[in-house]
Structure 1
């Protein structure tokens, strides 16, 4: 399957990041290279970019898309939770901008064998980095009922978490739960079927994905590192897709602004316009926050 992903808020990212010739920029979630290509175009002829991603499929796609920019691009495999170490090793220090586009890509969602979606029968995986050891199936089949309920409530903000956890434990006593559609049916039965606009399994799948990939911990670890990498006047642009991520970013930027290290550029998060939402429905939940590094 060819790697495909539509970069959200692309014009807004470039408008706020303000890439310029000679600058150094980091895309901590390079994906298919959409934001990165726009950053390189805007910083031509000699701006440089470091692209980081933990998914080898994403890096391969980025390498193809960004090949025309030659030596201006450096791509490394890794997690943005180690952004300071990866950037320093690649010679990117005191940079002019850093972008994080959080969550999963369209490619990852639409590739059944990655196990992110309940729309098809697939192994219950959900790993952004396929080399990490813990899958969603491991959590579903091994966590206690209480821990499972807590995970689903905390990361999925699912009010029916206890019913779902109880149903999962009862089902796995008969046989291990190994596929996405099997888990989806268990959740739907536990909640009484389809309710409202979203599928009953949506929040539980989100919670499992966040837990499998340690996403919130990674974000909390990365944000102070990004501030340390920015030169005075450099900007950090963070795009999140659910309230837990956005809350972390908002609170971090506010706290750093109080110390004088950051200046908040976006008092309210930037969201996709109607035209983009119609063209790319997955942009509807995107929220972008921007802050600028002040003089140390």
Structure 2
């Protein structure tokens, strides 16, 4: 049986969080397989939905629906493309961050250590920088920073030393080469967890994910109408911390600025004080949901 392109995570909770109005304008900045978008359209009558995705594979999933506009670009350009369509403000924005299950399951995309293939990891295959470029061209300090900050790798120095020694002999181009080079850095007991962190670090740097997320959050706050909703699903602590701090304080450090009366000067307020996580039933049916966290904010 053919596998679905992508199973949407926290679907019902996301839709409820958007508080969809039948005549509103909404944006799904991570269209992917269209699971969340399809559900959003069920609640829209005279409104519109804009779906963003930079992946050419996702473009094939776009709907032929007069209420839907597909934009094949990175969501860091959300403001520019909404203005292109004469939209200044919207009623809700949804972001399901991370990599789609489809991309993880396509060996040649290079996102998963489960397969053989090129060390690629580009979400946008038109982009120039690949994970192999990072491994082969970044200096020691740059590589150590990536693996420590984005992967929280304890033995990052040892890993990088081995990478640099190996690349002097020949370029590191494939997943199998990469795994063989760092093999003695990996504890057999925690092999999958360790490799997941290493691959996460390379993927974040390849796609500049945290910089893109910051740009997106700042733009979203200005694009929402008063009472409009921002719904964000994160999958690792680095993403979640940025989202949590921005909702709380309007900045990425989480430092709340208060006026004379003690009111926090943030343009967003949290709708769910406690982060929403998937049910045990959802995690069992969709392993990608295991680390998901949902945060909902409203424009003040």
| Structure 1 residue 262, shift from structure 2 partner | 1.4
- The structural deviation recorded for 1:204 is 1.1
Q: How does 1:1-296 map to 2 (within 5 A)?
A: 4-43=5-44, 45-61=45-61, 63=62, 66-67=63-64, 70-191=65-186, 193-196=187-190, 198-256=192-250, 258-294=264-300
Displacement after TM superposition at 1:46 (Å): 1.9
Q: Is the 8 A contact 1:14 1:38 kept in 2?
A: yes
Unaligned runs of 5+ in 1: none
TM-score normalised by structure 1 residue count: 0.93
Relative to 1, partners in 2 of residues 1:201 and 1:186: Cα closer, same or farther, differing over 3 Å?
Answer: farther
SS of 1:159's partner is: coil
- What is the TM-score when the length of structure 2 is the normalising length? 0.92
For residues 181-200 of structure 1, what are the alpha-carbon distances to aligned partners after superposition, in whole Å with 9 as ceiling and x for unaligned? Answer: 22122223223x42337343
For 2:266 and 2:173, how far apart are their aligned partners in 1? 49
The alpha-carbon distance between structure 1 residues 118 and 198, as it changes in their structure 2 partners (threshold 3 A), is closer
**Displacement, 1:59?**
1.7
* Contact residue 248 and residue 266 of structure 2 kept, 8 A: no
Count of matched residue positions in the alignment of Structure 1 and Structure 2: 287
Contact kept? 2:26, 2:48, Cα under 8 Å: yes
Q: Return the offset for 1:260.
A: 4.2
SS at 2:194 equivalent: coil
For 2:101 and 2:87, how far apart are their aligned partners in 1?
29
* CA distance, structure 2, for counterparts of residue 263 and residue 100 of structure 1: 17
* TM-superposed deviation, 1:76: 0.8
Tell whether the 8 Å contact from 2:51 to 2:70 is kept in structure 1 after alignment: yes
Q: Is the 8 A contact 1:194 1:200 kept in 2?
A: no
The structure whose residues are more often helix, as a share, is: 1
Judge conservation of contact 2:97–2:233 (CA < 8 Å) in 1.
yes
**216-225 or 179-188, larger mean C-alpha shift:** 179-188
Secondary structure in 2 matching 1:35: helix
Residues 270, 298 of structure 2: 8 Å contact kept:
yes
CA distance in 2, matches of 1:91, 1:73: 15
Indicate the RMSD between aligned Cα atoms, in angstroms. 1.5
